[in-house]
Structure 1
Amino acid sequence: MPIKSYLVHPHRGRKKELIKALSVIDQCQIVPAENKDLIVLVTDTETGKEEENLKEKLEAIESLKLLAMVSGFNTP
């Protein structure tokens, strides 16, 4: 099961929109920064196919400016 963590940067003024978009994705857990336009995102998927589907969903979010992975691992 791949577990990855990211720093997520929204487009200017679109943080709330990005939080809403990420919150509805089952494999995502978010922690918004209180004083910056930054969100910590942790994803957890069961299969490679599920991981690919998640990647496509994330790439389709228009309010997302930058997604920087900071950690990732896979457990059997």
Structure 2
Amino acid sequence: MPIKSYLAHPHDGKKEELIKALSTLGQCEVIPAENKDVLVVVTETDTKVEEETLKQKLETISSLKLLAMVSGFNTPKKN
């Protein structure tokens, strides 16, 4: 299952709006920085198709200025 972490930068004054938008996506965990206008976003999907669908949803969020992947890995499923 692909797990990725990102730094999400909102447009000016849109941090709370971005938190709400990301939180509605079931495969995202959002952790806002306390002293900066940035969010840590961790995503987890079961398939590459789900990962691509999530990526497309992220790209449509208007309050998102920049999304930079910090780390990504794929954990094989145990049978």
TM category (shorter chain) comes to: over 0.9
Match of 1:70 in 2: 70
Match of 1:51 in 2: 51
Match of 1:11 in 2: 11
What are the Cα deviations for residues 5-64 of structure 1, in whole angstroms up to 9, with x where unaligned? 000000000000000000010000010011111000000000011001000000000000
AA aligned to 1:27 is: Q
- Per the alignment, in what secondary structure is the counterpart of residue 19 of structure 1? helix
- Per the alignment, in what secondary structure is the counterpart of residue 19 of structure 2? helix
AA aligned to 1:68 is: A
Measured in 2, the distance between the counterparts of 1:57 and 1:69 equals 16
TM-score by length of 1: 0.98
Moved over 6 A (4+): none
Aligned residues: 76
- Per the alignment, in what secondary structure is the counterpart of residue 71 of structure 2? strand
Measured in 1, the distance between the counterparts of 2:6 and 2:52 equals 16
- Per the alignment, in what secondary structure is the counterpart of residue 37 of structure 2? coil
Structure 1 runs not aligned, ≥5 long: none
